[in-house]
Structures are given as structure tokens and as C-alpha cells.
Structure 1
Amino acid sequence: MTGIPPLVLDRAAGVPLAVQLADALRAAAADGVLRPGDRLPSTRELAAALRVSRTVTAAAYDQLLAEGWAGGRRGVGTFVLGGAGAGAAAPVPRRPDERPTPVLVDLRAGSPCLEVLDRAAWRRAWRAAGDGAPDGRPEPAGDPGFRQAVAEHLLRHRGLVAGPDDVLATAGTSAAVAEVVRTLPPGSRVAVEDPGYQRVVGALLDAGIEVVPVPVDDDGLVVDALPADLAAVYCTPAHQYPLGRRMSAARRLALVARARADGWWVLEDDYDGELRYDVAPLPLLGALGPDVVVHLGTSSKILSPTLGVGWLVAPASLRADVLARRVATGSRPARAGQRVLAAMAGSGDLARHLRRLRRELAGRREEVRAAVAAAGFRAEGDPAGAHVLVPLAGSEVEAAVLAAAGRRGVALDGLARHSARADVGRAGLVLGFAAPTRGELRDALVVLTSVLREQAAAAPRARPPGGDGPAGTA
């Protein structure tokens, strides 16, 4: 193990310690203090030397590994790869007062919590998936074992009664929406929540669909605002994205009734449906209206987008149309990820993972709420999923908070980009807490609290509705 140059971490700097450590090691390699081939201390040894948690050193090493500055050899250690001695370009000289741009800690919603994923279970599932014989012919509906596993998963975790024949494998929610709407007549109109999931909006537009934005309130999609001349309605009733509310029982019944009366399909994206940790979720739309609802799910938020796996449960006529299009075009979701998920479900590892994930996200949510409340703001949304909404006074405040946090190494997402209508008049932070490690999250929340306090001090009249303090936090 090489000698490590002096490393100074400033706990009062407002920059996450893991970011500071990665910057310092990267600079030492670029300056030639650390040379290619030098072995770095273990994360445990470095954490003890710097008097920080091991999460900090592990996160710094992960960043350097991802960037190619370092490489690991199983059973041997972590080694410097990049640097001045490796033929790398000479570092650009900095002004004495110029600080390096920090690596961002991502507090945007939509990524899975990989920290709680049991890597041994993950490897077992891949090995089990590889034990099966290679496919000789395509299976447009999906791997039979996967469809059986999804049917059992939906019954156990979501209360939806569906057989394997009712399930089609997909490549994820957006891909499934695109497949469904391509069975509709050209120029069909599809309603979407606004604010809502813009990736699905993009999939609809790409398929030649006319998108109809419909407002959302604390009870979910405003059913009375839906026009009659629709072909389908897309919604996220379990945990509305991005507002974080669940659709009320009355709205669910009203939506199914309207769909039956007016001849719509309801595309139910079960976003965060498995990740409720306060009470049991309300019944799925797919259970209330199996004749008009297309239920959509994905593994990308509960496991990893590596699998590229989702599922669709729909009435027989629509399944037949989707399958006919797959056969005609030769398109179908890949089966490798399907087999991995089926293996995890069959071994019980998926259920164990979901239990760990719910506990972890519940604890993270409380930390986020406390950090936001400490700045005098409130976090809104149901106790579910992996994001909350922090209302802000306006778009200028939102932009200022995003920029200030970014300069300090924290990536945030604003509410404005989730709306297609300019007159919505809502601003805020769509604050995710799944992607970082727990240590990174805590460091980033220090930055968030500081940025929000500074914004409140700079514009005291720009507080969101709800009072001058943390009262009213969800």
C-alpha cells in the first residue's frame, strides 16, 4: 500500500465529505503525488485515518472507480489507474481562489436504492438465469417463468388477481405505454396527469398521439376535467409522480366508471406501488376495472434498470393486439432480465429485498423531512415511495435553489419541468432520496438545509403557503 498524501476534509464546507475526498485523491493522482499502480488503503483503513464513516470512503472510491481513476482487483485491493504518469492530459491550472466543480450527489427522483440490494442474491439470480437452456425461438409474450412470477408477485404484494396468461412482459413502463398506444387509431387523444411523468409524454408524442394535459390535486387526477373524446387516460394512482399523493377511492371509482361509459382504456402506472410503508395501499384500478384498465409495472425502481424488465396486465383483446404487433414487427422485450427477476422471486430474495427497501426508504424519508423542516419549509406527499415534494414560492425561487445546490455538489429536480402547461403556477423541489448512499444523503441534506435557509433569508416573503416554520410537514 502506498503512502497517502495528507488529506484535509472540511466538515463546515457545505460540500459532502465523499465529494471532498474523491476530489483530493483525484488531484493527487493528476499532480503525480499518486502514481499509476499505487495501491490505495482499504476503505476501512482510510476511514479510520480520516475519522469519517466507511460510507464516505466507499462512496469516494466508487466515484473514482466509475471515472476510471482507480481500479479494483478482487482479493488484492484498489489501485490508481489514471494520473499524470499514465499519459493523461496535464491538469488545467486553477486560480488560487477557484474550487473544483464537485461531483454531484443525486437527489433527483426515479433511481433505485442500490445500497440495500443484496449483491449475493443478485449474483445468485444471474447464475440461476444462466442455468437455463438458450432460447431457440422468440417468445413474444415473455418468458413463461417470468409471467408466472409476476402473477404471484401482483397477488402477494398488490392484491391483483391475474394468471400468467393475463401478463405480458415489457421493457418497462414507458415502452409498454408506447406499445399500447400504437394499437390505437392514428391521431388518438390520450389524457395525462399534469404535472406528470414527462417520459411517458415523450413516448406518446413519438407514437403520434395527441397529449391532453389534465390537472392533478391532492386526491389525484381530476376526473371531472377529463374530456369525453379520449382513447385512453394515463395516471399514477399509487403515488402520483411528481406530487407524491395517492388517488382517493372516490376518484378511482369515478375514473373506472367514466372509462366504461366513454370507452377509454385506463393506463395504470403502478409507480412506487410496492413501496408503501404506512398503511396498505388502496385497491388497484386493475382490480376495480379489469375490463378497462391496463396495469403497468416495472422492476427498474425496486431493483435496477439493468434488468430492463416490466409487465403489463390487460384485457384479452388488448393483449392480442399488442402481441400481433410484436409478431408483425419482430419486436419483443429481452428475456434475460425476465429470467433474473423470476429467479429472485422464486428464491424469496425479491420479497426479502422489498422488506429491506421499505424499511430503508421509511428511515430516509424521515431524515429528509427533518432536514427540510429545519430550514422552515415543509415536505409533502404520502409516506410511500422514494420522493417528496417541497413547495417553493415561484419559478425564480426554484431556479435559484437548484443552481445554489448544484454549485455545492447536490443535484436537485424542480417541479416546473414536469408540467406541460405554462399556467400551472406551481414550483418546488421533487426531492428523491433513494439513489445516494445513506452517508451521501446525510451530507447532501446538510447542503439542502443550508440552501433553503439562505433562500428564505434572501426572500423572506417567498415562503411557501403553510406558515413560517416546519408546521404542516407531511
Structure 2
Amino acid sequence: MPHDVPAASSPLLELAIDLHRDGDLPLAVQLADALRHAATIGQLRGGDRLPSTRALARHLAVSRTVTAAAYEQLHAEGWIVGRRGSGTFVTTSPPGARSDAVAPPVLERKHAERPMVQLFAGVPWADGIDRAAWRRAWRAAADTAPDLRPQRAGLLSYREAVVEHLLRHRGLVVGGWTAENVLATGGTSTALGELAAAVLPRGAKVAVEEPGYQRAVGALKAAGVEVVPAPVDHSGLVVDDIPGGIAAVYCSPAHQFPIGGRLPAERRIALIERARDEGWLIVEDDYDGELRYDVAPLPVLASMAPDVVVHLGTTSKILTPTLGVGWMLAAERITTAVQRHRERIGQGPALAGQRVLVEFARHGDLGRHLRRLRRELSQRRALVVETLAAEGVEVFGDRAGAHVVLPLPDADAERRVLDDGAEEGLVLDGLRRHHDGPQRWCGLVLGYAACSRDELRSALPMVARLCRGTP
């Protein structure tokens, strides 16, 4: 039978559909009602392929006449559509359905006929991952026997790989640091929430860079912490302006996100001295600290002050969010408290991504990827800066990471550029979304890692024209 979809390939066959053979309603009406309800509440979604009428009849132990009649009714109402040679599918937006529940995002709807050029910040160069090495790592990770119990700290092999990575690529001074000081995490935001819940008193104040990483803000607030702003300038966190009475400060000293500055040595020393004098923690987010192109990166703060610094890192910017893993490097009292918290709530980091990272690093593939990544992004950054400078557009941010900032005069100009960019097929990022309070900085945060180099080259003149406000 053509298009006879097997059970494993259709989400419909995973649903519990109860048909009452002794009920007042015909079986075809009951089935149509059940499928309509499933589509309304999101159990079936736009684009989901449905089984053939014969396969569904066999699954429900009813006559094919019943399933055919139900499909005909739903097709007439616009809930499903048949595609010649492909099968039957749930429609994206059935007539009369709530548009906010089923409609795709505005950008996708407006430009469905063409791909969007991704110039968003915080996205990795995933296309640069060596696919053969990637497949090899996944195959090797899959050879491990399934686990019987969770490992709250993470795999020892993963934690050892993290220490080696920090030593080779982030200037970690080993000293007393070992794998025992490392916890695997689900990423920076997850780690920050765990840290707040395990170590900080509920209601404590934590200073966060403003503008800064808003997912960190969300994680802290969800953990019952009060977030207070800490101003930044072109060199990163302004240490003298960190408010008093806090329990911790969250910062990105290697490459401030999103403004792009690198915290200079004198501020690092002042930051550590304040933390020790006033009794608070420094939470160091090193989200793309490996990506410097001009000089060797400054050593991580954790090497300078292991007593007051908690170091957080992630694979999502140097590799891909697919792995879903990161790390926390901290003193024993911190890692012990976080592990106890994980035991209390029965949670811990998933092991699959850890195993893949271990295998990817084992034969040098991680190091080779980072060298290739730095080379590629350095060339892309030069292309961005040179092209925009030639167009008379100002660019700032250190020679690091995967984004630069293009200042704009005010919030209205920023909104206009974002809207007009969407009309041109560009997915752009503005500074407004990186503020927790009133907007203080206005401009574009231009990412250059997610798109191809050809797309970047063709998009930059459009970006320059939008920033200049010229037609």
C-alpha cells in the first residue's frame, strides 16, 4: 500500500485514542474529534505525517471505512492535507485555530520563500566541525555500556579532559587544581542556578554585568536570588561601581558579553581584592575565552584566586549546543555543596555529551578544531571590520570571540535596523535584549559564526546601509 506509514514513523500512533463502539457517536466522528483535539493542544503539530488510512485502521482495530471518513472530514475542515507522492500531513495553521498557538514566528512567516542569513550573536561555527571526527567520537561514546546509576559529579574521564583543556587552551595554572575540583554541568545557566541554590542564601544579592547574559539573570532569579546591575564599559566590568552588600558577582572577564571588552589586569586584581575584603564570590563565565586572535588569552581568574572564584565554561560556543555539557571549576567546599544539592533534588548532568567530548578530545580532534576555529573566526572578523570601516560604520569589541558591536544613536534606531534587516532577510541581534533594566547601550551585536563566509560577505553591505540609515 503506498504511503503505508509504519507505527514508528508517525506521532499519531503514539497517542492514546479511545473509541467507544457502544457510544452514541459514529466511530468516524469520534476519531475525527480525537485527532482534531490532539492538533489543537499540540500533541499533533504542523508538518507531522499521518499514517495511511489502512495502517491507522489496523492500529485501532476498526474498519478502513472509519479512518477514511475521519480523514475526509478533517481534510474538508483544513486540519490535514494530502501531498501527492508523500502522504497525509497535519497543516501548520488550520482554519479557526488560534494564530498565537500554531503560527510560525514572524520572520519565518514573512520570509518563508527564502532562507534567512543568521547574524545573531552567541551562535557557534558548527559547520566547521570535522564530520569524520564527530562521527568517530559518537561511535566511540556509544560503545560504552549503559549506566546503572547517575554520576552527580560527572564522569571522571570528562572532568580530567576539562582540566587538560583549561591547561592547554585557557592558561590554567594547575597548582592545586585537579579533576576533583571540576563538576560536569548542563551548561552555564544550569550551573549558575545550581550554584545559587546550593551555596547562596535565598534572597541574596548577586551583581550581574549590565548589559550582560540574560539567561544568567533568569537562572539566578529562578533560584530565588535578587539580581542587581553592575555597569560595564569598553574594558568590561567596572569594578569600582559594583554595588555593596552582595553575595557574588557574575562576570565574563575574558570577553565581556555582549560589549566585547577584555578585563585588564589591574581590574582583575581589584576585583579579587574586593571579593576577599567583602566576602563574596566571583563567578567567572568563560563562554568563549579560547577564542582570541591578537594575543594569548589572559589566564582564567580561577588561577589567580581559587579561594573566591568559581569558573564556568561550556562547549556550546566552541563546538555546538548538541552536547549540552559544560563545567564548573571551584574550591572543594563549593563542589561538595553543589553535589549535595544534586543528591537532594535527584538531578545531575547527562552523561552522553560528556562521553562524546571525551572521545573528541582523546585523539586531538578538539585541539585541531579550536585551532581551525580561531583561524576561521579571525579571518571573518577581519572581513567584518574592514568591510564596515570602508562603508563608514563604527565597530568595537576586542579581537576575540564571534561577534562585534555596531553602535547606534538610540533605541529607535536599533529597532528600525532590526525590523528593516528582517525585511532584507537578515536575522540581527540588538543590545536591548541584553539589558535587564533600562537600556543604556544601543546598537547591533553582529555575530559572524553561524552563516557561511559567502553569506557574510554579501550581507555586510546591507548591514552598513541599514546602520547608516540610507535607502
In the superposition, the TM-score normalised over structure 1's length comes to 0.75
1:400 paired to 2:412: no
Spell out, residue by residue over 1:127-177, the C-alpha distance to the aligned partner (whole angstroms, 9 max, x if none): 111122221221110011101100111111112122111110000001100
Query: Percent identity, aligned pairs only?
Result: 55
Partner residue of 2:273 out of 224, 237, 257: 257
One-letter amino acid of the counterpart of residue 348, structure 1:
G
C-alpha displacement at 1:191, in angstroms? 0.3
1:182 match: secondary structure: helix
User: Who is 1:61 aligned against?
Assistant: none
2:327 match: secondary structure: strand
User: Who is 2:282 aligned against?
Assistant: 266
Spell out, residue by residue over 1:204-233, the C-alpha distance to the aligned partner (whole angstroms, 9 max, x if none): 111111001010012211111122211110
Kindly report structure 1 stretches of 4+ aligned residues shifted beyond 4 Å. Answer: 82-91, 98-101
User: Who is 1:107 aligned against?
Assistant: 119
Structural RMSD (CA): 2.2
1:296 match: secondary structure: strand
CA distance in 1 between counterparts of 2:323 and 2:384 reads 29
Runs of 5+ consecutive residues of structure 1 not aligned to the other structure: 1-66, 70-81, 92-97, 459-474
1:140 match: secondary structure: coil
C-alpha displacement at 1:83, in angstroms? 6.2
CA distance in 1 between counterparts of 2:341 and 2:459 reads 46
User: Who is 2:393 aligned against?
Assistant: 377
1:130 paired to 2:149: no
Spell out, residue by residue over 1:253-280, the C-alpha distance to the aligned partner (whole angstroms, 9 max, x if none): 1111111111111100002101111101
C-alpha displacement at 1:283, in angstroms? 2.2
2:208 match: secondary structure: strand
CA distance in 1 between counterparts of 2:430 and 2:255 reads 18
User: Who is 2:336 aligned against?
Assistant: 320
Question: CA 1:451 to 1:229, structure 2 compared with 1: closer, same or farther past 3 Å?
Answer: same
1:212 match: secondary structure: strand
Larger C-alpha radius of gyration, 1 or 2?
2
Spell out, residue by residue over 1:384-443, the C-alpha distance to the aligned partner (whole angstroms, 9 max, x if none): 00000001111111111111110010010111221123262x210000001112222223
User: Who is 2:131 aligned against?
Assistant: 119
CA distance in 1 between counterparts of 2:417 and 2:84 reads 37
1:195 paired to 2:195: no
One-letter amino acid of the counterpart of residue 127, structure 2:
E
2:145 match: secondary structure: coil
Partner residue of 1:169 out of 184, 187, 193: 184
Partner residue of 2:310 out of 294, 297, 306: 294
User: Who is 1:450 aligned against?
Assistant: 465
CA distance in 1 between counterparts of 2:120 and 2:423 reads 15
Partner residue of 1:150 out of 162, 165, 168: 162
1:422 paired to 2:438: yes
CA distance in 1 between counterparts of 2:115 and 2:164 reads 41
One-letter amino acid of the counterpart of residue 349, structure 1:
D
C-alpha displacement at 1:100, in angstroms? 6.2
2:310 match: secondary structure: strand
1:214 match: secondary structure: strand
CA distance in 2 between counterparts of 1:390 and 1:118 reads 32
C-alpha displacement at 1:68, in angstroms? 10
CA distance in 2 between counterparts of 1:302 and 1:166 reads 22
1:248 paired to 2:260: no
Question: CA 1:423 to 1:353, structure 2 compared with 1: closer, same or farther past 3 Å?
Answer: closer
2:444 match: secondary structure: strand
One-letter amino acid of the counterpart of residue 121, structure 2:
A
CA distance in 2 between counterparts of 1:450 and 1:191 reads 37
After TM superposition, the structure 1 = structure 2 runs for residues 451-470 of structure 1, keeping only pairs within 5 Å, are 451-453=466-468, 455=469, 457=470
CA distance in 2 between counterparts of 1:219 and 1:369 reads 19
User: Who is 1:229 aligned against?
Assistant: 245
CA distance in 1 between counterparts of 2:154 and 2:122 reads 25
Question: CA 1:275 to 1:100, structure 2 compared with 1: closer, same or farther past 3 Å?
Answer: closer
One-letter amino acid of the counterpart of residue 458, structure 2:
D
Task: Check the 8 A contact 1:240/1:271 in 2, yes or no.
Answer: no
C-alpha displacement at 1:85, in angstroms? 6.1
2:212 match: secondary structure: coil
CA distance in 1 between counterparts of 2:439 and 2:382 reads 32
